[in-house]
């Protein structure tokens, strides 16, 4: 892709507005009943290897991310828990009819009313992510130039979760991601300039590609996962006689936002 088609056809402002509208739509979806909110922080190693006649050798650059994700899908995993509608005037009929693993009716109601009692087996992983990517360019005299690329990013992954007998959950997913650059600097010694823009040898703001994630969530809410993003968009301008695509490996720690907020209230 020599140019981002939407930017060329509609201009920057409408394209950015459409991007933000899509993000707003994702947050609206998160209000549905079968949603899990996850606040995540991560460290990453990124690069944007160059190809072409004027290419330079690039090296890995570390970064940090702050992420608010939503897992949207159908709540499953409630087999064995009675969910009959109680007859009028007898609210405890739901608990007493048939087998129930709960010691009291109130425990049963708390489990049914809690989001955490519902395990989403298949769903869509999305959200809003602040992601730091970048690379270090090695010049002929062995000096290096550091380029930091800050993005607002929205993944749309298909996700599968497998509950384990110890109460933990294995999960994994893959799908596309879409990102827009919101800041960043290119530093050469004491001199720095914006990482974006064609005139100063910078990069295109739009990025998109494929991502994959796999991890484990403990019973108490903490999750640990690994992810990798393969950029498919050439972020270098055609005038630079090179191509460059983002590559990012991340180690992530997350925690249920609902549990975090409830802990603060105690």
Q: Which tens digits make up the pLDDT trace of 128-152?
A: 999 999 999 877 676 788 999 999 9
The better pLDDT of the pair 265, 77 is held by 265
- Out of 6-15, 156-165, 175-184, least confident range: 6-15
| Domain limits, the chain | 5-77+121-265, 85-117
pLDDT band at 6 (very low <50, low <70, confident <90, very high): very low
**Token pair of 253 as six digits:** 């720690």
Task: Assess whether pLDDT exceeds 50 at residue 115.
Answer: no
Q: What are phi and psi of 161, to 5 degrees?
A: -125, 140
What is residue 15's three-state secondary structure?
A: helix
The average pLDDT across 247-253 equals 96
Q: Are strands 169-183 and 206-217 parallel, antiparallel or unpaired?
A: antiparallel
pTM of this prediction exceeds 0.85:
no
Query: Tens digit of pLDDT for each residue in 209-235?
Result: 999 999 999 988 899 999 999 999 999
The residues facing 174 across adjacent strands are 158, 212
DSSP codes of every residue in 108-169: HHHHHH-GGGSEEEEEEEEEEEEEEEEEEEE-TTS-EEEEEEEEEEEE-EEEEEEE-TTS-E
Q: How far apart are CA 153 and CA 143, in angstroms?
A: 31
What is residue 237's three-state secondary structure?
A: coil
Which residues have C-beta within 8 Å of that of residue 160, sequence separation ≥ 6? 121, 122, 171, 172, 173
Judged on CB neighbours under 10 Å (0-12, 13-18, 19+), 101 is exposed
Task: Assess whether pLDDT exceeds 80 at residue 4.
Answer: no
Residue range 5-77+121-265 in CATH 2.120.10.30: no
């Amino acid at each position: 892709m020599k140019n981002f088609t939407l930017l060329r056809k509609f201009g920057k402002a409408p394209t950015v507005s459409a991007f933000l509208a899509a993000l707003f739509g994702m947050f609206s979806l998160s209000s549905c009943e079968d949603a899990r909110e996850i606040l995540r922080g991560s460290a990453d190693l990124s690069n944007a290897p160059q190809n072409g006649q004027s290419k330079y050798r690039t090296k890995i650059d570390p970064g940090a991310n702050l992420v608010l994700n939503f897992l949207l899908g159908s709540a499953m995993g409630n087999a064995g828990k009675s969910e009959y509608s109680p007859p009028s005037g007898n609210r405890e009929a739901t608990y007493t009819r048939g087998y129930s693993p709960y010691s009291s009716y109130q425990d049963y109601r708390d489990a049914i009313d809690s989001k955490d009692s519902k395990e989403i087996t298949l769903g869509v992983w999305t959200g809003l992510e602040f992601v730091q990517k970048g690379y270090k360019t090695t010049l002929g005299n062995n000096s290096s130039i550091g380029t930091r690329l800050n993005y607002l990013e929205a993944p749309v992954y298909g996700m599968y979760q497998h509950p384990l007998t110890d109460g933990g959950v294995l999960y994994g997913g893959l799908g596309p991601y879409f990102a827009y650059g919101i800041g960043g600097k290119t530093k050469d010694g004491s001199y720095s300039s914006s990482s974006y823009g064609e005139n100063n040898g910078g990069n295109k703001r739009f990025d998109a590609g494929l991502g994959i994630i796999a991890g484990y969530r403990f019973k108490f809410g903490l999750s640990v996962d690994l992810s990798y993003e393969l950029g498919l968009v050439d972020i270098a301008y055609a005038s630079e006689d090179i191509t460059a695509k983002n590559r990012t490996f991340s180690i992530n720690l997350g925690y249920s936002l609902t549990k975090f907020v409830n802990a603060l209230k105690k």
